[in-house]
Structure 1
Amino acid sequence: MKYTVSVDTQPPADAPELDALQRAGVIHLLRSGLESLAGILAGIEGEDGSEVELLDSFLAVHPAGALLKVVVDAPSLEAAEEAVRAITEELLEGSDLLSEWVVSKCEVELHPDLAEKSLDEDGEPGISSASVSGPAEDTTPSGLSEEEREALRVRICAMAPVLAAFSVASFGHFTESDEEDDEAPGEPLVSYEVAELAAGALAYSMEIFLDELFMDLAVLTEENSNAAQCDGPMMQLDSLPSQFALRYDERFARHLVVTAVTLTGRMTQSGFENLNCVAEELLLRLLLQTAEVTLELYGLMDQDVATAWEYFAEGVYEDMDHEWLYDPSMDGIEQDPAAAHLGIAPMGLKDWFTPFNKGRYVHPFAIYEDEEPSAANT
């Protein structure tokens, strides 16, 4: 069964908060560590000899520590937690700069539909020793109190109107006026509060998202390299399809930043109609990931918000063909002539910035000229 294990790691209690540069360094160390342990992660064995397989991972760093989300295929909840805790502690111990950090929480996040499967014989939620996470009042990865968390929720919800292109109906909360739309379900999928939080989180995360893209551009410019070969950390580009990483250079990053600024600007104006190119589809995916991590860090993420974003994505994306770029079994789809006959848009790197049709707009600066990649990309 697939499990998502959430791991909170923290520096020593007397350590000062991490500044922006230190957070970028921690991300680099953790990502490098995960990559170096990839072979081990592919076949962790529990105490009973059962194998735990790593499927995916994602991490984010905040001023008080780091949050890792590790998706594994494991025979049980306990085996998933035990294996991920062990490999995280090994990762920290193997780094001179992170050796004093500790794992403060390591627990599986269960989808509500799967919760019953974790009940013990007495009908109470099963709790493993790996799930113990410290004082009950420390309810979020950043150690926020309930009052602080509620204040953040209010602040994030207040930003929902910034996303002027979309109403709460776009996130699954329908009113009587929306019922006149034949495409809208009669009953709300989520409450108004959840839809408002989902919308506000996207608006709130835009600044983080754009800042991290600019940081990626700065690293690539300074090193005159690409995302696969540079020494500095990549905040957003590492979440793009990995088979093109050698071509994610300074030139590419400039095109991507301009496209991201154009996209987020349109999302804050009424009249938004469609995503215009593959790059916008991928950037919206990254923005949604950034918003999810933001809510995770503040202890505000739950299945209802995920449902709101799923409904939002279904309405904004015309199709999910771009997801094939993340599927190893579909490598080469961007070069397959048969793809066009199946109605699949061209997905080569230069095609990411090409408008889908004459009615779509891409900023002139972002249009990718067809030229040979530089020596740094080969």
Structure 2
Amino acid sequence: MIDEDDDITEELLADAGKLTGLSLELLGLDPHPDEMTAEQRLQFDPEDLAEMAAVSPEDRHKAVRQTRLLAGLLWNSSSILIDQLFRDLGTLSTLDVLTPADIAGTSVLSSLPPQFAASYDAKFTQKFIVVSADVTASLVRGWTAPGCLAAALAVRCLLDQAEITEEIYELDLPENWRAAVEEVLLEDADSEALYSDDDGDGLDRADAGALGFEHWFRPFAPGDTVPPYAYS
């Protein structure tokens, strides 16, 4: 376990290369003309290429370092996310009766939409662990958009953990990095709508449509995939 007084910047930078499923460009780094092939340069207007080339070496170095730090943070947060989900599962296994207050005291499940907290039992958590592991594996094998609502929520939990680490260690990351990463990782996922009404008024609307709890582990569309254990 890393001590909160440690500077983990160099460790995260070293981990950046392990995040092989997302390029630095997908994480928000603007390309530099000198690093493009001739075919890639044809995709940009001359004015845009000139603007990219005008970035000073110092600013370019800073941008690359910040984006590599973000890549390492996502790698690090992936491991923490799964570890804490297993911890949450262990906590649930000791309970005879599950209450929303129990979920509020967990590490990861507490980040899920609170109106469904009474449903976050051990079986749900096991399925969510499998889906979360599949999501984090995509960061290595090549990113694919979440195939179900639970996977989209796992992405949000991953980014929540990354923000916690960022705050603890005061990391120098790209400005507005979360919004940029969500745009890439979540695309058109509607999971954010589940957080729009925490007092329960939105529960009936969610249950009546595709955001209902019973749909969380169902594929969004034909061709989307969900791990068999979670889909069963």
TM-score range, shorter chain: 0.7 to 0.9
- Partner of residue 86, structure 1: none
Going from structure 1 to structure 2, the CA distance change for 1:232 and 1:313 (only over 3 Å counts) comes to closer
Residues 220-229 or 159-168, more deviating: 220-229
- Partner of residue 352, structure 1: 216
Distance (whole Å) between structure 2 residues aligned to residue 261 and residue 357 of structure 1: 21
**From 259, 267, 272, the counterpart of 2:139:** 267
Residues 154-163 or 227-236, more deviating: 227-236
Going from structure 1 to structure 2, the CA distance change for 1:217 and 1:317 (only over 3 Å counts) comes to same
Paired residue secondary structure (1:275): coil
Going from structure 1 to structure 2, the CA distance change for 1:289 and 1:366 (only over 3 Å counts) comes to same
Higher RCO (CA 8 Å, separation ≥ 6 residues) = 2
**From 313, 320, 341, the counterpart of 2:182:** 313
**From 277, 281, 301, the counterpart of 2:152:** 281
Distance (whole Å) between structure 2 residues aligned to residue 179 and residue 327 of structure 1: 42
Specify the code of the residue in structure 1 equivalent to 2:184: G
Identity across matched positions, percent? 27
Specify the code of the residue in structure 1 equivalent to 2:19: L
Given that residues 225 and 250 in structure 1 are in contact (C-alpha distance below 8 angstroms), is that contact kept between their aligned partners in structure 2?
A: no
Specify the code of the residue in structure 2 equivalent to 1:321: D
Given that residues 324 and 330 in structure 1 are in contact (C-alpha distance below 8 angstroms), is that contact kept between their aligned partners in structure 2?
A: no
Superimposed CA distance per residue, residues 218-277 of structure 1 (whole angstroms, 9 cap, x where no aligned partner): 11112144351538931100110000000100111011011111111122113x232111
**From 221, 227, 230, the counterpart of 1:363:** 227
Given that residues 276 and 361 in structure 1 are in contact (C-alpha distance below 8 angstroms), is that contact kept between their aligned partners in structure 2?
A: yes
Distance (whole Å) between structure 2 residues aligned to residue 249 and residue 161 of structure 1: 36
Going from structure 1 to structure 2, the CA distance change for 1:227 and 1:192 (only over 3 Å counts) comes to farther
Going from structure 1 to structure 2, the CA distance change for 1:246 and 1:232 (only over 3 Å counts) comes to closer
Paired residue secondary structure (1:325): helix
- Partner of residue 66, structure 1: none
Paired residue secondary structure (1:358): coil
Distance (whole Å) between structure 2 residues aligned to residue 348 and residue 232 of structure 1: 21
Distance (whole Å) between structure 1 residues aligned to residue 97 and residue 21 of structure 2: 37
Superimposed CA distance per residue, residues 101-160 of structure 1 (whole angstroms, 9 cap, x where no aligned partner): xxxxxxxxxxxxxxxxxxxxxxxxxxxxxxxxxxxxxxxxx3x3xxx52xx211101111
**Hey, which of these two has a bigger chunk of helix by percent?**
2
5+ residue gaps in structure 2?
A: none
TM norm structure 1: 0.51
1:167 aligns with 2:23: yes
Which residues of 2 match residues 17-96 of structure 1 at below 5 A?
none
5+ residue gaps in structure 1?
A: 1-19, 21-61, 64-141, 338-345, 369-378
- Partner of residue 221, structure 1: 93
Superimposed CA distance per residue, residues 142-196 of structure 1 (whole angstroms, 9 cap, x where no aligned partner): 3x3xxx52xx2111011112211101101111223366557xx865998111111
**C-alpha deviation, 1:213, in angstroms:** 0.4
**From 183, 193, 197, the counterpart of 2:65:** 193
**C-alpha deviation, 1:309, in angstroms:** 3.0
Paired residue secondary structure (2:102): coil
Distance (whole Å) between structure 1 residues aligned to residue 103 and residue 148 of structure 2: 30
Going from structure 1 to structure 2, the CA distance change for 1:203 and 1:225 (only over 3 Å counts) comes to farther
- Which is higher, the Rg of structure 1 or of structure 2? 1
1:212 aligns with 2:84: yes
Which residues of 2 match residues 169-184 of structure 1 at below 5 A?
169-175=25-31, 176=33, 177=36
Going from structure 1 to structure 2, the CA distance change for 1:267 and 1:365 (only over 3 Å counts) comes to same
Given that residues 227 and 234 in structure 1 are in contact (C-alpha distance below 8 angstroms), is that contact kept between their aligned partners in structure 2?
A: no
The alignment covers a number of residue pairs equal to 211
Going from structure 1 to structure 2, the CA distance change for 1:179 and 1:251 (only over 3 Å counts) comes to farther
